[in-house]
Chains A and B, each alone.
Chain A
Amino acid sequence: MASHGVARPAISVVRTDEQLHEEQQRIQEYRDLEELIRAKIAEEQYTVEVLDLTSKLLKENPEYYTIWNVRRRLLIYGLFSKSSDSSSPSKASQNTSPTDTTQTSSIPSSASTSTIPADSNTIQHDPISQTRGKTGTTLDLISADLEFLFPIMMKFPKCYWLWNYRLWLLHQANERLDWQIARGLWTRELVLVGKMLVKDSRNFHGWGYRRTVVAQLESQKLHGSSMVESEFEYTTKVIHGDKGLSNFSAWHRRSKLIPKLLEERQADDPTRRQFLDDEFDLIIAAMYTDSYPYAQSAWFYYQFLMTTLTDPVGHATITPNFTSEERIEFLVRQLEVLKDMLDGAEDCKWIYDALIEYTLCLSRMEERQLQIDEKDDCSQWLTELRKLDTLRSGRWVDLELDLRGNNIPGV
């Protein structure tokens, strides 16, 4: 119903009788399969056979969220409790809401809560035996399901339900399996999401998924520790990769990691000052070497760095102990950098926009009015902005009003 990027045929296509017939057959098969699954579930047939039926349907239509839910129920009410390593509270959870078994659950994962397995022949295995991957263990079921999902995710990387179901499976592993085994699964996810992000380095779901996977691998439950350093390195790698400068997702992630990174490094004030310098060097060098200063992603990261100087909300991010003199010193230096950047890039609106903003910032930080030469500069930069960027002329009108508030004559 929501098609993206699908070309419309020049003439509307009329289906032949044969095509019509074929389509009716496919509809019938699809609906029969759907009916069959519903009937089996109504009979509470939580079996591998029914699981396979849902696989068949979901491969054709991964957006069918109700069938993903059917699959969840098949696992928690049926297959997990029947599996040979049933050491989980799955039987006990039969009469509770499924919400109790999702990530918000407080059900302990240890085997101590084990209840009587559905199959009286079932014996409990120690965690090590679970890794041997005997047919029918909870681990096998989860691993097989993760594998089943992978090609579908590669084909439909923007389908919310797929990412969501995958996370649910992994949380099931957290609750039902030994932590070492669960950790092993999450570790593989980091590799997988890395691959997905190579395929599409801006995939919104992929970046979100990466944050979740990392949070899990860092968690106490999985005996993890901070991954801030390696994640920060990952953003550096992506930024220096193909089209990296335009990868706002990577810049964004970097901005979020920095405060934690510096805290963990127990960075002292000179180190933090150096860090800020290095980040400015990185972004400025990137602007000069890549698509030169026309990529807006880089400008938003530049804005982030400037915010640590100009905006009280951002002060604590990198250099919390900067004196106002130090902030002004950095700001003045950046204004010079921006003016230099204009040389050869006179048609780059981002530079003019930044120059006006930070010139105004400087006067505010120095608690003074704009000086005559600053006023002249701002008027001139605004004239350039208006010429270069007519789409946003309404914004420039408002900017002019702001500047007039600073006693700038009309431009």
Chain B
Amino acid sequence: MSLVSGPGRAGTTGLPEELRLVIEPHVKYIQSLDSRRDELEYWLTEHLRLNGLYWGLTALHLLGRPDALPRQETIDFVLSCQSDNGGFGAAPGHDAHLLSTCSAIQILVMVNAIDELEKKGKGEGGGKMGVANYIAALQNRDTGTFAGDEWGEEDTRFLYTGLNGLSLLHLMDLVDVDLAVQYIMSCANFDGGYGVSPGAESHSGQIFACLAALSIAKRLDVVNVDKLGRWLSERQVEAGGLNGRPEKLEDVCYSWWVASSLTMIGKLHWIDGSKLTQFILKCQDPENGGIADRPGDMVDVFHTVFGLAGLSLLGHPDLEEVDATYCMPKRIIERVLG
């Protein structure tokens, strides 16, 4: 990437163009995502639609433009993804899954529309209970972990999304939280990290999921902070970005998984924040908006939100503050959970 700052621009920001956070192009990029129905890619990614809406909406909130997507359309779309069993699918007609169900709840909380769910929600008990019962039934009552859907795949990601959704609905008492905490502890490795299940290698994405679940359960006391902090801090590479495991390539999405984990254990200062900030900013498409995994690559909404959320954790002045546990605006989490 070349430095494109010209004499006319340098004076306004004091930073080269590529190291400035562009706000408006990102907003426009996210707004444009649903208007790309003439691209095959749009249809091939339908299985991520609800997650995509959560990523886009969260990014807009962080960019200070929470109203950039039409509210009623958003609510209607989310509710149209609900199955009769109370869970949400990725799009209308898609099977219910915990990942999209959690996104649905997060979106409804962000647009302050849980009351609409209460009125129109499906599932056993209807309303909030309908969704909550769907989630609670996915907990494995022998081990404490969660399945992603009725077919039984288990992964600590699902344990986190389960607790995330239930806590936002104030219905955590439907599941065995202590057993879930014990399960997470059984996933701990000698390096202080956590994997998908007991015995699995530590991975930054799973570490985020496990720490965030422990944070929701108010049990971060079980973490080996020093060891984990050291392992996580070694995720930062010379280019400034973070990787997910030892000796892997850096990637913007780990700016979130690693930096949020470090935040939760109070060690964010163990990495170089300004170098990470520069790395994320270099991954922007400054003209058309959006953030990519690495400089020069194709942008997508997944890396856009996790790049922005990483910048927010690092205290970027142009962004709303993000909550490290929920990856939602802190202001909203404070409103909902007090």
A392 touches B297 (CB 8 A): no
Residues of chain B with a CB closer than 8 A to A334's CB = none
Residues of chain A with a CB closer than 8 A to B61's CB = none
B300 touches A1 (CB 8 A): yes
A204 touches B203 (CB 8 A): yes
Query: Shortest Cβ distance from A116 into chain B, in angstroms?
Result: 26
Contact partner of A392 among B90, B253, B272, CB < 8 A?
A: B272
Interface positions, chain B 170-215, Cβ under 8 Å from A, are 189-191, 196-197, 199-203
Given A5-B293, A7-B297, A103-B152 in contact, is the A31-B199 Cβ separation under 8 Å? no
Given A65-B97, A202-B248 in contact, is the A27-B43 Cβ separation under 8 Å? yes
Q: How far is the CA of A202 from the CA of B249 in the complex (A)?
A: 12
Contact partner of A102 among B95, B151, B251, CB < 8 A?
A: B151
Query: Shortest Cβ distance from A72 into chain B, in angstroms?
Result: 7
Contact partner of A1 among B45, B151, B296, B297, CB < 8 A?
A: B45
Secondary structure class of chain B's binding surface, majority of residues: loop
Query: Shortest Cβ distance from A216 into chain B, in angstroms?
Result: 14
A394 touches B269 (CB 8 A): yes
Interface positions, chain B 264-321, Cβ under 8 Å from A, are 267, 269-272, 275, 285, 288, 292-294, 296-303
Contact partner of B246 among A99, A168, A296, A307, CB < 8 A?
A: A296
B231 touches A300 (CB 8 A): yes
| A222 CB within 8 Å of chain B | no
Given A4-B251, A256-B199 in contact, is the A391-B151 Cβ separation under 8 Å? no
A3 touches B298 (CB 8 A): yes
Q: How far is the CA of A248 from the CA of B203 in the complex (A)?
A: 11
Listed in ascending order, the chain A residues whose CB lies under 8 Å from chain B are 1-8, 12, 20, 23-24, 26-27, 30-31, 38, 60-61, 63-66, 69, 72, 97-99, 102-104, 160, 164, 167-168, 202, 204, 207-208, 211, 246, 248-249, 252-253, 255-256, 295-297, 300, 303-304, 307, 314, 390-395, 397-398
15 contacts between A and B (CB under 8 A): A4-B251, A8-B292, A27-B43, A65-B94, A66-B47, A66-B93, A98-B150, A102-B151, A204-B201, A248-B245, A248-B246, A256-B199, A296-B246, A391-B238, A397-B269
**What would 8 more interface pairs be, CB under 8 Å, given A1-B300, A69-B151, A394-B271?**
A1-B45, A5-B293, A65-B47, A168-B152, A202-B245, A204-B203, A391-B271, A397-B269
